[in-house]
Structure 1
């Protein structure tokens, strides 16, 4: 049986899937991993983990389905991330992760001055400078780690690093490049060479292609390491949320994709690459299909924090959240437990639980966290609407849609219908879609039709309207205090604990 291999390098795991050429999942598996947090606001990962986990997953899936012949490979990954390597392709330091790593934001004003101001930059790149911008991360590395930068020749992201190891090709897809602000022109869909020379001097920029293009073919060395057949085509791939959105149904204006994962991410199709305050305007998965995007710094990560803190399992928490009911018995949460990316772009934001009493239960807290992510989605949708990008349907996918409670809360809070596709196992399946398109014609609505349709419950509308207004006010009313606390947290991390002898 001919199958395609889809792989996704995520924040908390690497996932892989075998799919036949009609979209049926034959086998899938994953490897859990953790990121490194060497200091407040810094999030990194050893890139060797990505390759090790890919090799072990291919071996496992091949053993589970020995009758399958892999005919194409697709790869996606978290991003935008930055991994520097030398002329031989050897990594020089751990990869700096996407907007959850905020080390570079202090350089934004300086970079804007060099480029002629924010208006000039946005006109070309479509986005502002934030912790999300890979170009700003590169500028930070050039400035703060010159001993490493002097040896750097290439930069990759999780997906392009795996493509490089599989094919020997140094490439990057247009969408990932468009998140390398300010190095990519979203209007002309090309690198801005003069700005790259200023901010990332000496770095060779990768060859660009679209996520579904053929980046190269499996080399003999990669075949020996992975067991994949020599010569099999490999797609360029891209950042996970965009790849996953390709697997969730036909893209069209008004349909906003939501990725329910460790972080919550959303992708909205646009007709023109228009800058949107607090969000990112990017190249899409295909030429001439720009997107607006937003992402939370945490989402599923906070639900897992509650699980670990309480010692409960997810089934218990979900049942108790249902009992808690809309409004979480008067609890309100700001979900900024690791700062926030969009639309407030505040690395010093922090989580707030308001209204807590000794009468509240872990189920109330869990419900309030789910509602907080829904309020954050509504905030994003309001920002999109203020710039002429409409949303009439949400398309949900990812681990958070395994049960209906979370997506139903989002629909109730936002007042918008939502569809859940038949296969919602994550970006690895989207990578399989990209791989399949290299060898056959794919109609995604046939591959992965909607399985669940959710409608907002009008009985909850007034309660959630009131709670959302409180949610928006709570950030501004607590911001100064929270920022001071964030500063103290940074300071305390530098102080040796009392009684320490080392």
Structure 2
């Protein structure tokens, strides 16, 4: 049976699928892992795990379906990450993860001062935030000079797998556009003056689009993985964009809403929209642009609460459903790991407001589901204000398995969400990209045939006035609590706030 293989390296696990030519999943495998948090604001990972788990997943899949004939390999991974390696491709330090890692605040401020906000936005599309790869590269150069002295190449999870499989040193345009400010979004190329200034000594990866073939499996990779010699491997991209592909939410007017460890949103269009509150990037395919956003916590928040209480998810969901809209007067800010878009505040912290002795764990869990939904609404409204033409919303990711969470998001936002038949996510999208890359032109599959929509989640219009009011309170709660929360964040770090000049209330 002809199959394509798709593997995604995520924040909390790696997942792989074998997919037949009709889009049916023949086998799947998962490996859980943890990130490292050695200091406040640091989130990093040993890149050896990425390859080890890839090999283990592929070996399991091939053993489970011995009749599978692998015709293409698709890869994706969390990002943007910064993995720097030496001339022998040995990592010089653990990989620094995406916007949840906030260590480079000082570098963001310095690069912004040196280059200017207007010029950074003109070249790269976005202002510099904790999501940007450039300041993290600068952080290594400044804070770990011995590691920097040995650094020669830059990888992310997908491109690291490509390197190990094929020997090719590439990075896709979408990932590269998040190595701000080192990528020219209109020219779709590296911005050489700033690359030399802030990444001198690092060889530039060759740029490709996500679905293009980067190379073929080498004899060495075949011996380790069992994937046949010469099998084509695509360049791949960051998981959120591959997830969008997996559900067909990658056309202009589409918004992909990814329910995972973090919540991620990708609006696809043809125009480069620039706003300081969101991330402007290249799309997964030539000729497309994305306006993206992400909450720092979503599934991470509910998992944290599950761990504290010792309850299982079915119990918590049942209790949250019984609690009802508004969680009996509770309101939560979901900023337990700082926040990315649209407030771009690494010093934001979680807040639980309205708590009384009468509240239950079901009320708290309901309030946390509503908190992530309020964060989604804030992002969607910001995108639309920036000019995003959002005509269709598709939900994807592990969180879509819980119908209550989907319904809460639709009720809070007032949006209809389309849910596809297969929501396994980025690994499936990677397998689809590999299938299209290796098929002859007139036999290329369509994602609507592989993965049709199975249902639509419609909002309860009767709850709209209530959630409009709650959203207003949500916005006011952040503004009102920010001065105290920033002081608490500074105390947690043992230093001064990494925020703009204090307001009079903070002084």
TM-score by length of 1: 0.96
Residue 195 (structure 2) aligns with: 196
Task: Give the corresponding residue for 1:498.
Answer: none
2:472 to 461, 466, 469: 469
- Partners of 1:44 and 1:94 within 8 A in 2: yes
Structure 1 residue 403 displacement after superposition: 2.2
Aligned equivalents of 1:463, 1:96: Cα separation in 2? 41
Is it true that 1:444 corresponds to 2:447 in the alignment?
yes
Say yes or no: does 1:72 pair with 2:62. Answer: no
Aligned in 2, Cα 1:318/1:40: closer, same or farther, shift over 3 Å?
Answer: same
Q: String of CA shifts for 1:71-117, please: whole Å, max 9, x gaps.
A: 110010000000110111111110000011101111222212322x1
Distance in 2, Cα, partners of 1:257 & 1:16: 21
Answer yes or no: is 1:481 the counterpart of 2:484. yes
* TM-score normalised by structure 2 residue count: 0.95
* Matching of residues 32-51 of structure 1 within 5 Å: 32-51=32-51
In structure 1, distance between residues paired with 2:244 and 2:120: 28
RMSD over equivalenced CA pairs, Å? 1.0
Query: Residue 328 of structure 1: SS of its match in structure 2?
Result: coil
Counterpart secondary structure, 2:233: strand
Alignment-derived partner of residue 413 in structure 1: 412
Runs of 5+ in structure 2 lacking a partner? 496-507
- Once the two structures are TM-superposed, the CA of residue 250 in structure 1 deviates from its matched residue by 4.8
Could you tell me which residue of structure 2 aligns to residue 495 of structure 1?
none
Find the aligned partners of 1:36 and 1:92 in 2 and give their Cα distance: 16
Whether contact under 8 Å (2:79, 2:98) holds in the other structure is yes
What are the residue-to-residue correspondences of 1:230-309 with 2, within 5 Å? 230-309=229-308
Whole-angstrom distance in 2 between the partners of 1:307 and 1:313: 7
Quote the Cα distance in structure 2 between the aligned partners of 1:403 and 1:86. Answer: 44
Cα deviation 1:111-150 (Å, max 9, x = unaligned)? 12322x1001101110010111001111111111111111
Q: Write the distance in 1 (CA, Å) between the matches of 2:140 and 2:472.
A: 40
Q: Which runs of 5+ in 1 are unaligned?
A: 493-502
How many aligned positions are there? 491
- Cα deviations across residues 364-389 of structure 1 (Å, max 9, x unaligned)? 11111111111111101111111111
Query: Matches of 1:229 and 1:315 in 2, distance apart?
Result: 42
Q: Which shows bigger deviation, 204-213 or 438-447?
A: 438-447
Q: Please state whether the residue corresponding to 1:230 is helix, strand or coil.
A: coil
- SS across alignment from 1:277: coil
In structure 2, what is the Cα distance between the partners aligned to 1:468 and 1:219? 54
Matches of 1:42 and 1:209, distance apart in 2: 30
**For 1:329, what is the secondary structure of its paired residue?**
coil
Secondary structure of the residue aligned to 1:395 is strand
Equivalences for residues 326-345 of structure 1 within 5 A: 326-345=325-344
Structure 1: which 4+ aligned runs deviate by more than 6 Å? none
The offset of 1:254, in angstroms, is: 3.1
1:301-360 alpha-carbon deviations (Å, 9 max, x no partner): 000011101100011111111101111111111000000111111111111111111111
Return the offset for 1:251.
2.9
Q: Counterpart in 1 of 2:320?
A: 321
Deviations 1:432-461 (A, max 9, x none): 111111222021111111011111111111
Q: How does 1:50-449 map to 2 (within 5 A)?
A: 50-115=50-115, 117-440=116-439, 441-449=444-452
